[in-house]
Structure 1
Amino acid sequence: MISQANNLLHHLPHHLAHHWKEAPMKSLLAAKPVLWFLFLFNLVVAAVAPFVVDGTQGVMTGVGMGVVSVGAGVSLLKGRKIDL
């Protein structure tokens, strides 16, 4: 198991590999592909949930997933470099 984790470190970008040993979940959640997945998946679920699940549960599922989607979107925007 540890050898598999070490092999994975060689394939990660340097800035992620350095932090992987300290906080693996935090560095994984900071990766752009993961943020894009969280943003898009939760956005779709937030839009569809009120129509698929009836009543308050559907509305609250949509709101909760929407909050996660907005959080991932904000993280994507904060990590973006603006060239002026």
Structure 2
Amino acid sequence: MVLWVVIAVVLVGLLVLVLAAGSLVGRLRPLRRAAMALLRRQAEAEKLQAAALTLAQEAETLRLKAEITQERIALIKVKQPSRGR
């Protein structure tokens, strides 16, 4: 009789464990999808960050070129005689 009680308690415990594991696995699927979406967003953010860095470097190059051009224009204006101004 005691053996049947022990077997019943063990089976009930296993049943509770299986139900809990099933519930946990059911919750993991959406979490996995969300994690994959976050990884995709992270990769996209890294690409955008690299593009922004390149753009910033190009903007700095253009700023330097504009500065040099302004200096050259100033030199040209100094070298030319004034024409009735």
- TM norm. shorter chain > 0.5: no
Relative to the length of structure 2, the TM-score reads 0.34
The structure showing larger relative contact order (alpha-carbon pairs under 8 Å, at least 6 residues apart) is 1
TM-score normalised to structure 1 length = 0.34
Whichever structure has more helix as a proportion of its residues is 2
Larger Rg: 2
